[in-house]
């Protein structure tokens, strides 16, 4: 293990800490240069989540919070693969998601947007990738919602994702967007990503995973930080 060094964040695609158009970054972004740390045992390991704790419908947001009926909105399937920069799939890693409902309202108590809550939709889910790094969620397509960053600011439709990967260098929290969303060109959170990285945050419509008479399919793959091992070296 001591020979393995993980790549750093690729700053060609990751957003900076400070992006003044996204106003909350102004007082919350570190201003001093990061201190480069030699990776040691703690960085080269991370929490391992067995699937023993996951509920039967944790991956199915259309079912995991039903009270008295089905959630409203357009059912979708979101699937893809988690891998690292070397192209190696990352199996058995935890993915957690959260999102607004079809009206653009979050369950979170802080969300004051005057759009209806859905009694049958929480908007939280999670799953483990399978042995080949694949994951799949069923959910409802999230709505756009207004926020206070600037006058008439609206977030594009998006699903929040949290991933762990091989170790804590791989930790990633991000947002998946939908193809063709006209709000993307106005969104300072999305636009904080350098141009080279932006397309990587947009899912692709996928007819092959679309379920007839049930749900539209979208594909979204994740690439986490890789390492200096060749693809065939023992890790």
Give residues 104-143 in contact with other proteins (rule: CB under 8 A).
Answer: 106-111, 122-126
Nearer to other proteins, 211 or 233 (CB): 233
- CA 221 vs CA 27, 133, 141, 228: distances in Å: 32, 10, 18, 21
Q: How far is the CB of 213 from other proteins (least distance, A)?
A: 29
The C-alpha atoms of residue 26 and residue 17 are separated, in whole angstroms, by 9
CA dihedral (172, 177, 73, 183) positive or negative: positive
**Binding flag, residue 150, other proteins (CB under 8 A):** no
Catalytic residue, chosen from 79, 105, 155, 225, is 155
Which parts of 38-97 interact with other proteins (CB under 8 A)? Answer: 38-43, 45-49, 53, 55, 64-65, 83, 85-87, 94, 96-97
Nearer to other proteins, 168 or 216 (CB): 168
Query: ∠ CA 171-77-80 to the nearest 5 degrees?
Result: 40
Catalytic residue, chosen from 59, 79, 105, 158, is 158
Stretch touching other proteins by CB under 8 A, among 69-77, 132-140, 164-172, 178-186: 164-172
Told to judge if 22 belongs to the known catalytic residues of this protein, a careful annotator would answer no
Contact residue for other proteins among 9, 146, 231, 235 (CB under 8 A): 9
Q: How many residues bind other proteins (CB under 8 A)?
A: 84
Burial 61-100 (b: 16+ CB within 10 A, else e): bbebbeeeeebebebbbbbbbbbbebebebeebbbbbbbb
Known catalytic residues are 106, 145, 155, 158, 160
């Amino acid at each position: 293990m001591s020979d393995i060094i993980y790549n750093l964040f690729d700053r060609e695609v990751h957003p900076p800490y400070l992006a003044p158009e996204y106003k909350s970054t102004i007082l919350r972004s570190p201003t001093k240069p990061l201190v480069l740390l030699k990776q040691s045992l703690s960085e080269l390991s991370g929490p391992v989540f067995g699937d023993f704790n996951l509920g039967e419908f944790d991956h199915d947001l259309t079912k995991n919070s039903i009270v008295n009926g089905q959630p409203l909105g357009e059912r979708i399937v979101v699937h893809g693969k988690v891998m690292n920069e070397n192209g190696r799939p990352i199996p058995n890693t935890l993915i957690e998601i959260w999102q607004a409902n079809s009206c653009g309202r979050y369950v979170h108590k802080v969300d004051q947007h005057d759009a209806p809550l859905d009694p049958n939709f929480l908007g939280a889910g999670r799953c483990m990738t399978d042995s080949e790094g694949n994951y799949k969620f069923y959910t409802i397509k999230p709505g756009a919602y207004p926020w206070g960053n600037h006058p008439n600011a609206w977030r594009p439709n998006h699903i929040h994702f949290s991933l762990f990967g091989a170790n804590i260098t791989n930790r990633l929290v991000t947002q998946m967007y939908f193809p063709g969303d006209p709000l993307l060109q106005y969104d300072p959170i999305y636009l904080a990503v350098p141009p080279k990285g932006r397309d990587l945050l947009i899912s692709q419509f996928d007819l092959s995973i679309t379920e007839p008479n049930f749900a539209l399919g979208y594909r979204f793959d994740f690439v986490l930080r890789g390492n200096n091992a060749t693809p065939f070296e023992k890790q």
